[in-house]
Amino acid sequence: MALDDYLESEVAIAVAATAAIASPKVRGVLRQGAVYSVAAVLMAGDALGAFARGMGRGAQQATTAAAGAATATAQTVTNAATGDADTTADAAEAPPTEEAAALGAAPQETETETPRRSRRPREERSGE
């Protein structure tokens, strides 16, 4: 090989790459960069997956709420058309469903249960 062959860009790049791969310092930096790159790709995949699952849940809840509202409206219209005033009034006074609550309807007041008494610690019960 003549001196001109060593000055070509392809040969110079190959020599520089070989020297870099042989250097322990450069290999450590490349290895660390590869680890960080893989970690970043995994984190981005997790974030994208969580976003997609959230979008799916939101769409499913919206569909369920819309179907529930459409069913309630259809029932009210059917009752009004058949002249069943009692059922229409009952439908208007019914507590909101979970779907309606998800859409922001005010919750109905319910009776509260009396709280249960807590059990005594094991140490206090051991003497009985």
Prediction pTM value: 0.42
**Residue 31's pLDDT is what?**
92
- Tell me the backbone φ, ψ of residue 115, rounded to 5 degrees: -65, 145
Find tokens 């939101």 and name the residue. 58
- Least reliable range by pLDDT among 5-19, 50-64, 94-108: 94-108
Tell me the C-alpha distance between 83 and 21, whole Å.
87
**Residue 88's pLDDT is what?**
46
Tell me the C-alpha distance between 111 and 27, whole Å.
70
**Residue 114's pLDDT is what?**
61
The answer on pLDDT for 30 being more than 80 is yes
Fill in the amino acid letter for 29: V
- Domain ranges in the chain? 1-78
Pairwise pLDDT comparison (126 vs 57), residue with the higher score: 57
